[in-house]
Amino acid sequence: MATIFITGGSTGIGAACVRKFIGQGWNVGFMDNNDDLLTRSTKKNNNSFFYIYVIL
């Protein structure tokens, strides 16, 4: 099983990439600087990945 890490994964193109790779069975990690969106994205995708919250 392949693994990918996506930056800016809670919205827009990044979020679409997260969903696509999860759907293809990849291990997915992503980061963003918006903790609320990261939490919602995790719940929306059934906790199928890990994420990192970045404080800028």
Query: What tens-digit pLDDT sequence spans the chain (56 residues)?
Result: 788 988 888 889 998 998 899 889 888 888 888 778 777 777 666 655 566 666 66
What does the pLDDT read at residue 18? 86
Counts for the chain of helices (H) and strands (E), in that order: 2, 3
pTM: 0.72
Distance CA 49, CA 29 (A): 6
